[in-house]
Amino acid sequence: MSDIGSDEFDEEQNKLGEYKGDRNEAGERHGVGKAVLSNGDIYEGEYENGKRHGQGTYRYKNGARYVGNYNQNKKHGQGTFWYPDGSKYEGSWVDDLRQGRGVYTYPNRDTYDGEWQNHVRQGQGVYHYHETGSRYKGTWLNGNMGNSGEYIHSNHRYQGNFVSNNPMGPGKYVFDIGCEQHGEYRLVEQVDQYAEVMPELRRLRTRAPGTGT
């Protein structure tokens, strides 16, 4: 889930590649142009005073691709990045990082739709598990489920607090037939080992988002 490829490049090194397009009076790339870099990457789009600035498409030699807005050589604004592993991010960028609102589609077709900060899930968001149809809706902290959230399944849902992708503390199941069952997750004996008042709560533990495990 990271930008794989030659995302940054030195403008002096770029002179070893080929460029066709507009230039300003100082001879800098300025306007619209296409650059074929010496490492095999290709950028086609807008420049300003020698730097990628405005709308553009950057194709990496490893198959990755970015289409969107640039600011002073960095992905900034709205854009879509296709990764070599088949995943895709579509949304807001700030200084080359996923930040703001965006949708990430993982190789296994799981999706996360929500807020990002410094390239990780942070804030409010919804993670949808493609294989089961279940989804988590709530708060994310440093890429993990944290604080208050809701796990929604086909015929019931769990509402409570989460710590590092696991439920922790008081919570309840709400069933579609109209009944509720209350319980609590708590640590016992070993770190990362969870026990619960209700046996049914054990079924809530699933693989971590985006890991496939």
Indicate whether 99 and 192 sit together in one domain: yes
Indicate whether 124 and 191 sit together in one domain: yes
Query: What range does the domain containing 114 cover?
Result: 95-197
The least confident of 111-120, 127-136, 155-164, 179-188 is: 179-188
Considering the entire predicted model, what is its pTM? 0.81
DSSP string for 104-157: EE-TTS-EEEEEEETTEEEEEEEEE-TTT--EEEEEEETTEEEEEEEEE-SSEE
Residue 62: pLDDT above 80? yes
Q: How many domains in the chain?
A: 2
Indicate whether 56 and 116 sit together in one domain: no
Residue 118 lies in a domain: yes
Euclidean distance between CA atoms 92 and 98, whole angstroms = 6
For the beta carbon of residue 174, count every other beta carbon within 10 angstroms.
Answer: 15
Which of 30, 60, 84 is the endpoint of a domain?
84
Q: The CATH number of the domain where 35 resides is what?
A: 2.20.110.10
Indicate whether 46 and 102 sit together in one domain: no
Q: pLDDT tier at 208 (50, 70, 90 boundaries)?
A: low
Indicate whether 141 and 169 sit together in one domain: yes
Euclidean distance between CA atoms 102 and 167, whole angstroms = 25
Residue 141 lies in a domain: yes
Indicate whether 165 and 135 sit together in one domain: yes
- What does pLDDT average to over the chain? 86
